[in-house]
């Protein structure tokens, strides 16, 4: 069922799967979904983050990939500030056979979505 849900909401762009913020929000509390933040620790600390996100900066991702092995059965939604770094991370994780999707527009789009709801 969750597979069907994911296949419906993802869009394809240059062989990279993306998910829109309004769809990712619905997955926040799903047990089989992990939000992976690939920004710097400074960005994570000072700009905020998505609830329960795991931080592994993109520059550290390849050497810390073993940290993610425990999440291999989960659907991983990767984000950064705008989407550029998370696309690189998504590509790397796909090559390592993770179930991974890029958050379209990154944390900027995430915050914009919530600011428009107020």
Give catalytic residue positions. Answer: 80
CA atoms within 13 A on the CB side of 60: 14
CB-side neighbour CA atoms (13 Å) of 36: 31
17 forms bridges with which residues in the sheet?
Answer: 12
Find the farthest-apart pair of alpha carbons in the chain and give their distance in angstroms, rounded: 40
């Amino acid at each position: 069922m969750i597979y069907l849900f994911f296949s419906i909401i993802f869009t394809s762009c240059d062989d990279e799967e993306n998910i829109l913020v309004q769809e990712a929000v619905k997955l926040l509390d799903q047990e089989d979904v992990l939000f992976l933040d690939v920004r710097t620790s400074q960005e994570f600390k000072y700009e905020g983050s998505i609830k329960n996100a795991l931080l592994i900066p993109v520059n550290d991702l390849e050497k810390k990939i073993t940290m993610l092995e425990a999440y291999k059965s989960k659907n991983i939604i990767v984000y950064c500030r705008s989407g550029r770094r998370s696309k690189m991370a998504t590509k790397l994780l796909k090559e390592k056979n993770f179930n991974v999707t890029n958050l379209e527009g990154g944390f900027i789009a995430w915050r914009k979505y919530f600011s428009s709801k107020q």
